[in-house]
Chains A and B, each alone.
Chain A
Amino acid sequence: MTAVAETAAHADEHGHDEGHAHPSDATYWKVGAFLAVLTALEVSTIWWPENVLTSITLIVMMIIKFATVAAFFMHLRFDSKILQNLLLVGIIMAIACYAAMGGALNFWDQGGNQLINDAPRDQPLPPAPTDPPAIIRESGPSH
Chain B
Amino acid sequence: MSETLTASAAVHHEADDHAHPTVTGISNEKLAMWLFLGTECMLFGGLISTYMLYKNRPVGSGEGVAGVEGLAGSPTRVSELFDIPFTSASSFVLLASSLTMVFAVSSAMRKDQARMRLWLVTTAVLGGVFVGGQIYEFTAFVKEGLGFTSNVAASAFFTLTGFHGVHVTLGILMLLFTAGLSLRGRLPDSKAEAVEIVGLYWHFVDVVWILIFTVVYLIK
Contacts and interface: CB of A to CB of B under 8 A. Distances in A.
B189 A15 contact: yes
Interface residues of A, number: 60
B52 A17 contact: no
A39 B92 contact: yes
Determine which residue in B13, B27, B84, B88 has the highest number of CB atoms from chain A within 10 A of its CB, and name it: B88
Nearest to B87: A43
Interface stretch (B98-106, B130-138, B161-169, B172-180): B98-106
Interface stretch (A74-82, A124-132, A135-143): A74-82
A15 B38 contact: no
How big is chain B's contact interface, by range? 35 or more
Q: Is the interface of B mostly helix, strand, loop or mixed?
A: helix
Contacts of A73: 98-99, 101-102, 199, 203, 206
B25 A39 contact: no
Contact of B52 (A45, A72, A107): A107
B166 to A, nearest CB: 19
A69 B53 contact: no
Interface stretch (B42-50, B61-69, B150-158): B42-50
A102 interface: yes
A113 interface: no
Nearest to A4: B11
Given A39-B92, A42-B214, A105-B53, A9 B45 contact: no
B154 to A, nearest CB: 19
A61 B41 contact: no
Given A18-B25, A28-B99, A46-B84, A8 B42 contact: no
A115 interface: no
A1 to B, nearest CB: 11
A15 B15 contact: yes
A32 B99 contact: yes
Contacts of A134: none
A62 B12 CA distance: 37
A121 B35 contact: no
B192 interface: yes
Nearest to A79: B26
Interface string B88-130: 1001100110110111001011110000000000000000000
A17 B95 contact: no
A97 B101 CA distance: 32
B39 A19 contact: no
